[in-house]
């Protein structure tokens, strides 16, 4: 067991990007897990809670005010993904949207789904409840479109391939895959949760997006449905009879405000972070480095030490990073994404993901590397696996 004192530093709890008396200055490098809510989204959220408390299905003035704000947000989300407003189905998050896409697309006699080995569990787990073919990826985390083509069967209802991998940042060849899907008359779904706000959202029949990945609130998402989908939960006739339940109007309004405030990042800080780590810390490697990647994400392997003690060591020094997907936090299993690209189980446990966001600066990146270097050195001294 490695003690907190051995990792280095005493725990000080402070505010993100701020400092309390006696607390360390904290910097956030885990934006792929969730983003802090933006000022625009927070203002829209609080104003809606105060000024439009009605149920959007009610016909009185309060209800109609809520309805108007809901529909404005629908137009904002649609514009952000290049869709029509009536194609936007609001959900409780990306996981629900993925489930609606998969289960809402299959039909009797057509329950086969093609997906990839590096999808988020919100796609992989529903797919495994159906008849699924899981297509492997290469060592850079990219799927071969021809492998998708070969997996299609007469009973295939849907292809589901994520736009951007949440752990590696790799960008999948959705244009080629979309053409293959159209050629075979099969629907294409893409989990674009990590794409929105980073790259143009690829064209697909069904697209999943989530508010808390784009500086909106948690607990709000949407499925963009350019084709009919069957509802998978039952109740009222909300969302044009596609997703029952009273809409989270304030959260949706904040989602719309976040979508109206999107801007793409640049790879400068990501590249600076990678180059500094590779130059200063020996026996490290960038996973998926040769593939097209979004500008904010890097995943690095550190030989001989496990990722979770590294996460703790950096947290003690004021830096929030991740050893994998947030939904898998606490799991004893290594990342399925990293093993899918060929890492051993041991090596997959020796990786960190850094995901940058709007608030990060060059100074924070350099401070992160300055903190990381001694933590890695100390853990390697304690590790029997590092020789």
> Which tens digit of pLDDT belongs to each residue from 317-347?
999 999 865 555 555 689 999 999 999 999 9
Q: Please tell me the distance from the alpha carbon of residue 27 to that of residue 24, in angstroms, as a whole number.
A: 10
Query: What pLDDT does 332 receive?
Result: 65
Q: Inform me whether the pLDDT recorded for 11 exceeds 80.
A: no
Q: What's the token pair of residue 198?
A: 């980073």
- The contacts of residue 261 (CB under 8 Å, 6+ apart) are 38, 40, 41, 215
Q: Please tell me the distance from the alpha carbon of residue 277 to that of residue 136, in angstroms, as a whole number.
A: 29
Element (H, E) at 131: strand 131-135
Could you tell me which residues are beta bridge partners of residue 190? 207
Q: Please tell me the distance from the alpha carbon of residue 322 to that of residue 331, in angstroms, as a whole number.
A: 13
When pLDDT is averaged across residues 219-227 and rounded to a whole number, the result is 98
When pLDDT is averaged across residues 295-314 and rounded to a whole number, the result is 96
Query: What pLDDT does 333 receive?
Result: 83
Could you tell me which residues are beta bridge partners of residue 12? none
Q: What is this structure's pTM?
A: 0.92
Query: What pLDDT does 23 receive?
Result: 56
Q: What's the token pair of residue 36?
A: 């802090």
Query: What pLDDT does 266 receive?
Result: 74
> Do residues 85 and 78 touch, judged by C-beta distance below 8 A?
yes
Which residues are tagged catalytic?
327
Query: What pLDDT does 9 receive?
Result: 41
Q: How confident is the model at residue 168 (pLDDT cuts 50, 70, 90)?
A: very high
When pLDDT is averaged across residues 151-168 and rounded to a whole number, the result is 98
Domain definitions of the chain by residue range: 4-30+265-382, 39-259
Q: What's the token pair of residue 250?
A: 């304030």
When pLDDT is averaged across residues 280-294 and rounded to a whole number, the result is 96
Element (H, E) at 209: strand 206-210
Q: What's the token pair of residue 223?
A: 């499925």
When pLDDT is averaged across residues 293-317 and rounded to a whole number, the result is 96
When pLDDT is averaged across residues 1-20 and rounded to a whole number, the result is 38
Length of the chain: 387
Q: What angle do CA 310, 316, 321 make, to 5 degrees?
A: 50
* Percent of the chain predicted with pLDDT > 70: 91
Q: What is the CATH number of domain 39-259?
A: 3.40.640.10
* Percent of the chain predicted with pLDDT > 90: 88
Q: Inform me whether the pLDDT recorded for 58 exceeds 90.
A: yes
Let me know if domain 4-30+265-382 sits in CATH 2.60.40.10: no
When pLDDT is averaged across residues 134-141 and rounded to a whole number, the result is 98
């Amino acid at each position: 067991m490695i003690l907190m004192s051995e990792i280095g530093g005493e725990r000080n709890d402070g505010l993100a990007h701020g400092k309390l008396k006696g607390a360390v200055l904290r910097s956030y490098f885990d934006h792929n897990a969730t983003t802090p809510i933006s000022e625009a989204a927070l203002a829209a959220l609080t104003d809606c809670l105060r000024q439009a408390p009605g149920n959007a299905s009610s016909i009185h003035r309060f209800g109609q005010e809520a309805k108007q704000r809901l529909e404005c947000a629908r137009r904002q989300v649609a514009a952000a993904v290049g869709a029509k407003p009536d194609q936007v189905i609001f959900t409780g998050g990306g996981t629900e949207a993925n489930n609606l896409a998969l289960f809402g697309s299959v039909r009797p006699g057509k329950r086969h789904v093609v997906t990839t080995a590096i999808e988020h569990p919100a796609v992989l787990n529903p797919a495994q409840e159906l008849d699924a073919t899981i297509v492997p990826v290469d060592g850079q985390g990219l799927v071969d479109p021809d492998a998708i083509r070969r997996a299609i069967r007469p009973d295939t209802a849907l292809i589901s391939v994520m736009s951007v991998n949440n752990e590696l940042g790799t960008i999948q060849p959705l244009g080629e895959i979309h053409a293959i899907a159209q050629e075979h008359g099969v629907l294409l779904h893409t989990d674009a949760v990590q794409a929105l706000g980073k790259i143009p959202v690829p064209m697909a029949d069904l697209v999943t997006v989530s508010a808390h990945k784009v500086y909106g609130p948690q607990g709000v998402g949407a499925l963009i449905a350019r084709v009919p989908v069957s509802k998978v939960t039952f109740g009222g006739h909300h969302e044009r009879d596609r997703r029952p339940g009273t809409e989270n109007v304030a959260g949706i309004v904040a989602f719309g405000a976040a979508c109206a405030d999107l801007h793409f990042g640049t790879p400068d800080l990501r590249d600076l972070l990678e180059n500094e780590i590779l130059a200063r810390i020996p026996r490290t490697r960038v996973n998926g480095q040769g593939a097209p990647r979004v500008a904010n994400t890097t995943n690095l392997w550190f030989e001989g030490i496990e990722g979770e003690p590294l996460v703790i060591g950096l947290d003690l020094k004021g830096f929030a990073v991740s050893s994998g997907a947030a939904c898998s936090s606490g799991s004893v299993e290594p990342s399925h994404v990293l093993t899918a690209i060929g890492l051993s189980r041991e090596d997959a446990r020796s990786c960190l993901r850094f995901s940058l966001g709007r608030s990060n600066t060059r100074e924070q990146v350099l401070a992160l590397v300055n903190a990381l270097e001694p933590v890695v050195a100390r853990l390697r001294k304690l590790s029997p696996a590092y020789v």
